[in-house]
Structure 1
Amino acid sequence: MASGAQLTVTDLRRATRHPVDHKVIGEHRRLGDVHLHIANISAHGLMTEGELALERGERVVIRLPEVGRIEAHMIWSAGDRAGFQFERIIRLEDFMKMIDTLQPNPRLRPTRR
């Protein structure tokens, strides 16, 4: 029996990441509440900084502004950083609203067309 996440989206690490400094509490099936510090985010996933008691393939459910609850699967970890892929891609409109909330500094926000 295979363990870990069975993800269908291939390597999306080239997706545009937006730097953020946002702390959330994730829900994990075994550990309960897990504190996460999000360092960057894209419509496909996020990167955290700080030690985590999670292993590759494990899942957490987090709540993001404008997006609401979303499940994220740990894809990689290196030292005190970890990368997570969302269960679904965040819609562009919701993503842009979320970035406006998470990046209060307008110079860090993406340029609007």
Structure 2
Amino acid sequence: MTYVIAQPCVGVKDRACIDECPVDCIYEGPRKLYIHPDECVDCGACEPVCPVEAIFFETDVPDGWTDYRTADAEVFTELGSPGGATAAGPLAADHPLVSAQTQQAA
């Protein structure tokens, strides 16, 4: 099991969760942050600091956002598990689910 970052993060990317994560498993895409499911240790430190309440335990993702469980895992298919977001740097592209969403107003 792992944590998932859902739709409220798209276009926001506050990054408070990145600062709080003790294992550096939150990666930055162009429009959304992603939790690497193989690197997350399920500590939950990221969840309470998210200002837009976008982070959920995998089994607690609201029904309208369940596709984000798959998106957070699939975005790492090619990248594999580099052992931390800092070393890997930003992701080149968002998952197609995120890319297909209209840009939110600032």
The TM-score range, normalised by the shorter chain, is under 0.3
**Which structure shows the higher strand fraction?**
1
TM-score, length basis structure 2: 0.28
